[in-house]
Amino acid sequence: MEKTQQPEKNKNNKLVILYATQTGNAQDVAERMGREARRHHLQPLVVSMHAYNPSSLPGEQYVLFVVSTTGQGDPPDSMRGFWKFLLRKSLGHQWLAGTQFAVFGLGDSGYQKYNVVAKKLDRRLLDLGGKPLLVKGLGDDQHPFGFEAGLDPWLASLWVTLREQIPLPVGLQDPTPGDTGLGFLPPPPVSITEFYLLRARAMVDAASNPFAEVATSDHNNNSLQHGAPSMPVFAQLLKNQRLTKDDHDQDVRHIELDLGNSGAQYVPGDILTLLPRQNPTSVEKFLKHCGLDPDAYVTVEAADCATSAADEKGDVPKRQPILVKTLVEAVMDVDSASPRRYLFEVMSHFAGAEHERERLVYFATPEGRDDLYRYNQRERRTVLEVLNDFPSVQLPLEWLLQTVPRLQPRSFSIASSQKAHPNEAHITVAVVKWATPFKRERHGLCSSWLASLNPNQGKIFVPIWFTSGAIKLPPPSVPLILVGPGTGCAPFHAFVEERVAILSRGDTVVAPVLFFFGCRKQAKDFLYEEDWLAWSTGKNVLSNNVGGGFFVAFSRDQSEKVYVQHKICEQGENVWQILQSGGAVYVAGSATKMPSDVMSAFERAIAKEAGWPIKTASQYVKELEQKGRYTVEAWS
């Protein structure tokens, strides 16, 4: 197999590529940049922002940044420390005077704050004296052909610009614009060592397998602090209750987990993250198709630590032998996520049938991009389905680890208060299902798995972590306005439950709460109906008697659709009174139109009650946002 010529190592052709990802897309783009940089005889260093020391930036001559925007304009978790460092006031306006940079952002224009993280990063790098190599690039998931529609031309311009800055070494040639590089395949970024010795089994810690049997009933005897620990808490499933009616098309579950004696703590507004289990049948089919021995032990190590983002990320067990079946089921998403274009490129080198190789090569070219999008991303084909469509392809494990999407943890807003449930964590889960353009039924991997768990059929343990969320419950004396349609009510169930528990002690003043909830039909999907109604009586925090209120919009129970924004306008007087008394607004739920519609409703309600023009009311809401008194947590 022919290989690309390795770039000559010198400081001038070094290219640092930093990425911050939440779902893996930014890492995919960064790895692609690294591969293309090598083809242009550069020396790339691909690193996640959380693993890079930002104080080293002034010493770098050329740096590329790939960042995604999450939620309502939030940076990925792996970028938070890096971004906090860049915001230091002690960094002068010439701090990056010797650094040239370029930023590419990944976002979704359906969100209110489209690609705002990339825009802020680009602006901050300019403020610090950095010199832009070219205008920032913005990839849009809403584009008919995904973010690659913006990435491809941006990268083409980037390599031209970099060549103007970095002379080509004598005797070498850059790839031509039409050269896709498909004739070359570099060595895989990881090396695999296989073990057949029985002693390998003794080297594997059972805790490294998130799906191992937990033999002891006294689980989680290690104390863990708040935040994401290196090892998960193995929480026992206590309850899996359907909240919606059986004949309703949306299945929403209330799930309760026992934290054992782990000592794990969380506060309202925090996030519970868990690692889902893949369908065992799908895993078995994948292993069989790829010719992998599920009972073999292997070790995984980076082949080149300077360029491998796969090993740097730390999600692949290294040096310690691991069962191949465990490696696949805990690391590779074989039957849920759609693969990236690079998988098709690599597959073309291992296709035994010529007609399959030709189709794979076409998919990996710019000319085949649109057809690949229709075949792959639009239909949400899985790796297993792609491999079945190309049966002559036999990828080695090294390449499978590089090209198969990572099994991503899933995050849920916590719906409980530890003041009410000291040793438990509750979540609200909407079971995801949809049909593709070709009417193929799809199911969400994590939500379907959770819905299938039955605590009455033996002990079930789920690996979980706790992390800080975007919303924080303020002190009990601060009045609240909560807006949570659908499963957006989950964090506010925790908020209200916490305040009810504080109120029951009788030693703390608890301010009133206005809560706006929305669903389709009162008789079908009125989530946590009994709790809300109970907390709205007497002198509870949602009661009208104390200045609170619970308002529900049933969108399909009448001829005209009614949403939470309509209820906000109806309750404008109460809303304005809460805001005038120092109250805070929290909004949670779907990230499509809801957040912007709700904000517009607040602006109209405030304009009416205060007698202001809408422009003044809009500025008032923006000021609330800047002061931390208007917070949104949304998800797609």
* Euclidean distance between CA atoms 511 and 505, whole angstroms: 14
The answer to whether 597 is annotated as binding is: yes
> Is 130 labelled a binding residue?
no
Is 563 part of any known ligand binding site? yes
Separation CA 177–CA 301 (nearest Å)? 34
Q: Is 336 labelled as part of a ligand binding site?
A: no
Whole-angstrom Cα distance, residue 467 to residue 266? Answer: 8
Q: Give the contacts of 248 (CB within 8 A, at least 6 positions apart).
A: 521, 524, 525
| 23 annotated among ligand-binding-site residues | yes
Q: Using an 8 Å Cβ cutoff, are 332 and 404 in contact? A: yes
The reply, when asked if residue 556 is annotated as ligand binding, is yes
Measured torsion, CA atoms of residues 230, 234, 235, 241, in degrees rounded to the nearest 10: 100
71 is in an annotated binding site: yes
Q: What is the 3-state secondary structure (H, E, C) of 519-586?
A: ECCCCCCCCCHHHHHHCCCCCCCCCHHHCCEEEEEECCCCCCCCCHHHHHHHCHHHHHHHHHCCCEEE
Q: Rounded to whole angstroms, how far apart are CA atoms 314 and 144?
A: 33
181 is in an annotated binding site: no
Rg (CA), the chain: 26
Is 559 annotated to bind a ligand? Reply is no
Q: Say whether 141 counts as a known binding-site residue.
A: yes
68 is in an annotated binding site: yes
Return all residues near 576 (Cβ < 8 A) that are at least 6 apart. 605, 606, 609, 610
Contact 601, 590 (CB under 8 A): no
Q: Does the annotation list 484 as a binding residue?
A: no
Q: Which residue, 388, 4, 393, is CA-closest to 182?
A: 4
Buried b / exposed e along 529-562 (16+ C-beta atoms within 10 A): eebbeebbeeebbbbeebbbbbbbbbbeeeeeeb
- Asked whether residue 24 is marked as a ligand-binding residue, the answer is yes
413 is annotated as contributing to ligand binding: yes
Find out whether 433 and 374 touch, Cβ atoms under 8 Å.
no
26 annotated binding-site participant: yes
Q: How many other β-carbons are positioned within 10 Å of the β-carbon of residue 452? A: 11
Does the annotation place 70 within a ligand binding site?
yes
- Is 386 annotated as a binding-site member? no
Give the CB-side neighbour count of residue 10, counting CA atoms within 13 A: 8
170 annotated binding-site participant: no
> How would you label 239-262 residue by residue, b for 16+ Cβ within 10 Å and e otherwise?
ebeebbeeebebbbbbbbbbbbeb
- Residue 446 annotated in ligand binding: yes
**Residue 21 labelled as part of a binding site:** yes
Beta-bridge mates of residue 19: 48, 66
- Known binding residue 410? Answer is yes
Residues in CB range of 183: below 8 A, 6 or more apart: 2
Instruction: Report the run of H or E that residue 95 belongs to, with start and end.
Output: none
396 C-beta neighbours (distance < 10 Å), count: 15
- Residue 613 tokens, joined: 């023009």
Give one word for 294, left, alpha or beta, with left for phi > 0 and alpha for psi -120 to 50: alpha
Question: 174 near 168, Cβ under 8 Å?
Answer: yes
User: Is 25 marked within a binding site?
Assistant: yes
Binding residues for FMN: 21-26, 68-71, 141
Binding residues for NADP(+): 487, 555-556, 561-565, 597
Binding residues: 21-26, 68-71, 141, 380, 410-413, 444-447, 487, 555-556, 561-565, 597, 635
Binding residues for FAD: 380, 410-413, 444-447, 635
